[in-house]
Amino acid sequence: MRAAPTILHLDMDAFFASVEQASKPSLRGKAVIVGGLGPRGVVATCSYEARIFGVHSAMPMAQARRLAPNAAYLVPRFEFYRRISEQVMGLLRALSPLVEPLSLDEAFVDLEAGGAAWDEQSARLAGTRLRADIRAVTGLTGSVGLAASKMLAKIASEQAKPDGLVLIEPGTERALLAPMPVRTLPGVGPATGDHLRRAGIHTVDELAEAGEDELVRLLGKAHGHALYAMALARDERPVVAERETKSVSVEDTYDVDIHDRTRVGLEVQRLADRCVRRLRGAGLSGRTIVLKVRRYDFSTLTRSETLRGPTDDPAVVREAAARLLDSVDTTGGVRLLGVGVSGLADYTQEDLFAQAAGEHAEEVEEEREDDGPGEERRAPAERRWPAGHDVRHAEYGHGWVQGSGLGRVTVRFETPDSEPGRVRTFRTDDPDLEPAEPLPLVARRPGGVGGAATSGGYAGAPG
């Protein structure tokens, strides 16, 4: 344990929901729930206003609707969240080379390694400036914990929520932890918590009093030793910069089981293309193609195929995924499909002729769709309008989808810096209505904090 509180933990406040509220003036101060909206959907996150009703992350969406029937229910915009996350992570990397992201909205920072802090006063100043910079760049709030270890910094950020800063002074750690429930400590989940409770251990202080030998007897050697050390506020884990990505994957869960084999094949092809876009976006390629299939009875099958060399060619990934699907029986129906690529590398060893042939085939397909006579073109599939996603109307400008169904789509026309906007309803095939890119949450200001932190663009910029 270090002598100064120079490890920082940042946790953005209700990140997805806060982004949606910042994007949509009419939702500010309202209950907002983001997640899958189908019968099998779950809550990804929700605003603090929704939490008053008992809604929380990972709750089944059907239960959330019963608890908060008047909340705004939105489909996630993950690409937009990722862009804003990149802005926040850029601010963290300006503080230190040692930044350990845990998710899109959470990270540890070793302030000492970057010279940003060396004692209590400088650490508090760094945390205060970070929160101000995050608000200036993204318009969002984040909670900051500062302590001498990762475990305590994370506990501090939890205490700081929402929109606060808590610093745990060195020397006060054990007194702070003592009355806390054992579930506060990392690694103590529901099962371990219940096991300890049955043994009469409810608080961290009782955990420390039980002694190391007793914890090893109850939980096993590795877990017992680790938990005893944490109960004494000992945590020597370093902040580890950027963990190496081991795989890139995408998957979809379907509201209704898919029985048609042709539809299953088309879904796998679509997922393969999405996976490759994510792969290329990360500047990676991979040798092993993985197919995941969860069937009607919840049984999950995984099939994989390893290629001779790394690839980021969509045609190659599609073909491999299709071959893997051939070995899976989907007769009873499919509830989830996923395609992934592992064995990653930052280069490719493609057969250039095959790649060129694949690109040519894609061009031919595009020409086939674009150049045919109007009367003979294949009728386009009905456009989907996910709730919360951005649209633009030729007359009314930028807005977002409030809901759709029965051939109609309802749109509220407003922008992040406008007043709450008006609502209008259109036919789902209205030619004047098109999907749109999200707008930046905060207008870019030349020479300001936003400009310094967003050298690759700003939140919402096409990228």
Burial of 379 (0-12, 13-18, 19+ CB in 10 A): exposed
Residue 454, both tokens: 């967003």
Radius of gyration of the chain (CA): 25
Beta strands in 312-360 (DSSP E): 334-345
Looking at the DSSP bridge assignments, the partners of residue 160 are none
Residue 109, both tokens: 């920072």
Q: Which helix (H) or strand (E) holds 132?
A: helix 120-138
Catalytic annotation present for 242: no
Beta strands in 213-333 (DSSP E): 247-258, 285-295, 300-311
CB atoms within 10 A of CB 349: 12
Which entry of 106, 173, 267, 350 is annotated as an active-site residue? 106
Looking at the DSSP bridge assignments, the partners of residue 101 are 107
Q: Which of 424, 433, 430, 458 is nearest to 444 (CA)?
A: 458
DSSP track, 12-50 = ETTHHHHHHHHH-GGGTTS-EEEE--STT-BEEEE-HHH
Are the C-beta atoms of residues 35 and 43 closer than 8 Å to each other?
Answer: yes
Looking at the DSSP bridge assignments, the partners of residue 247 are 342
Beta strands in 142-224 (DSSP E): 142-147, 165-167
* Sequence-separated (6 or more) residues with CB below 8 Å from residue 203: 178, 179, 180, 181, 182
Q: Which of 131, 162, 99, 85 is nearest to 441 (CA)?
A: 85
Reduce the secondary structure of 382-404 to three states and give it as a string.
CCCCCCCCEEEECCCEEEEEEEE
* Sequence-separated (6 or more) residues with CB below 8 Å from residue 368: none
Q: Which residues are catalytic?
A: 106
